[in-house]
Structure 1
């Protein structure tokens, strides 16, 4: 990965094609045209992004209808741009945006920076968290993904009406058009649940696996969470961004981030998914299990 970064940096300097516009100016209007199928990735991993994009193009029936939005951090932006400038996705189009390039209204900038500021403060506090009883929990959370800014920026998605969000460890194996047109019945998100429909059992993790459901800050709220409630799976989700904004999802997410920090991380070990489970509470439409095979690559499927 280090050598790849060096080679891409060199290409950006010596190869004019590596600095070409993404997308070409004549196709830029498609970035905000809601009649196209929009896919968002938030990642700083160039090869992972390349796999997601190429697998989706291979699996789709109409590549010309697809618009990719790749959001990354400042240090990766030039390298990510170079890769996709030199590896065309045409007839689909693709944009790469660094966090530093967001030209949002002032109030939107404040919302984004609130997330950044809270993450920085929480990271500093958690890395130096002390307590013998909590040592294992502290060490288990000290992995790059826990503190990576891009994992938290997924709560800030493009100003569109609808978007399919994909994690950067996803390999697309089927056309996603029917998912794009899925009726969410006024809810914010469609996601595969970890509940086995026939038996009412969780095939994945429960809310209690992610957070301390018995903590008064959670149990005394109006969420009415159950320990054994099945968590939905992230990695491949469809979002109605109009409903997202209407239900103030981003601010709710930030509020839970702050509460966990202020409580000394007693609500959950630091991570980006638990506050999402709380922020989207009551706004998730379970979709068919066949849409997402979770854990492939690190756990064997049953069949």
Structure 2
């Protein structure tokens, strides 16, 4: 059972050395400058391990090489930091062994908030969290990015997941990648324990009813050589915002280079219109470990331009994903929330001056019955 301690553990200072392209922080609680909006984040409750949780770490600080850890990788930037804080909170709240979860945050080199400021925010919000923050050098990928149908899709940080095998410590051979606009309402250890069969490198919920052809241009499908890439497999769409990744197989297979090769081709001849998703589809679609759809109830962001809201897919829910243009914190602040945005609100740690946004009285019985904890 997960024990929640009311007393904060003394914070320890531990400055660690990492590879040249990244830095990590596992340190004492910082005081943020009063001028920054980050001070509006409340400290999260302390979520502690129960007696049944194993750990080979000693003391209060876990290293990323501890084999008992669940590794989660997320990007961290000023635009989506509110979503990231809610996502972290949701993972810890529902984890059976929250102290065995280790977060790897990838921060942009030239973000409005520096990686060090973002690190301070995480530490002040989650004082005992095991985590590292890595700097993602934008010049790693900037020359490979082609124009997309939406400017937001051209953000270099969207491509950081391609480089997790290089960025994370070599002892980390498995990781769960999560987007910043998710909340987890189930034990993350269940997702972690999913087996990747055969030689499969990633696992994700697949959506084989989706029109797969729309993710590539007519030029791609009319080219007999290019379109033959799927000849030996049956490709299905999958969302790269929730993936279980075998980094050992990733490194051995040099999948970073395989993805980059498709991006290089895209620069020469346009074969897709979206951003970072199509290269993943080209490399992995048809060879993905299928994970139950409850682990990515995606598309909840809908389309703000059309003022549309989405509903849950039928079945149990373990993870809610506000992929799409609309984000729950934006709609809640504007007092124009979708019904499902109220399921995100309990994990929000942001303290706005006027953040009260009561949910409709009917939402609880209508929606919570879908959720399977």
Q: Fold match, TM over 0.5?
A: yes
* CA distance in structure 2 between the aligned counterparts of 1:242 and 1:291, rounded to whole angstroms: 23
For the pair 1:153 / 2:163, whether they are aligned, the reply is: no
The residue aligned with 2:96 is 61
Secondary structure (helix, strand or coil) at the match of 2:297 reads: coil
Distance 1:278 1:8, change over 3 A: same
For the pair 1:254 / 2:260, whether they are aligned, the reply is: yes
- Name stretches of at least 5 consecutive residues in structure 2 with no aligned partner: 1-31, 40-58, 303-309, 315-373
Greater share of helix: 1
CA contact (8 A) 1:190 1:239 kept: yes
Residue 7 of structure 1 and its aligned partner are, at CA, apart by 3.3
For the pair 1:94 / 2:117, whether they are aligned, the reply is: no
Residue 27 of structure 1 and its aligned partner are, at CA, apart by 5.7
The residue aligned with 1:84 is 122
CA contact (8 A) 1:249 1:280 kept: no
* CA distance in structure 2 between the aligned counterparts of 1:217 and 1:115, rounded to whole angstroms: 29
The residue aligned with 2:189 is 177
Secondary structure (helix, strand or coil) at the match of 1:98 reads: strand
Residue 214 of structure 1 and its aligned partner are, at CA, apart by 0.9
Report the TM-score when normalising by structure 1. Answer: 0.72
Distance 1:252 1:269, change over 3 A: same
CA contact (8 A) 1:34 1:161 kept: no
The residue aligned with 1:20 is none
**RMSD of equivalent CA atoms:** 2.8
**Count of matched residue positions in the alignment of Structure 1 and Structure 2:** 245
For the pair 1:189 / 2:202, whether they are aligned, the reply is: yes
* CA distance in structure 1 between the aligned counterparts of 2:76 and 2:224, rounded to whole angstroms: 32
Q: Which has the higher contact order (CA 8 A, sep 6+)?
A: 1
Report the TM-score when normalising by structure 2. Answer: 0.59
Secondary structure (helix, strand or coil) at the match of 1:32 reads: coil
* CA distance in structure 1 between the aligned counterparts of 2:120 and 2:211, rounded to whole angstroms: 41
- Name stretches of at least 5 consecutive residues in structure 1 with no aligned partner: 12-25, 101-111, 127-137, 196-201
CA contact (8 A) 1:156 1:250 kept: yes
Residue 237 of structure 1 and its aligned partner are, at CA, apart by 1.1
Distance 1:142 1:235, change over 3 A: closer
The residue aligned with 1:116 is 142
Residue 33 of structure 1 and its aligned partner are, at CA, apart by 2.5
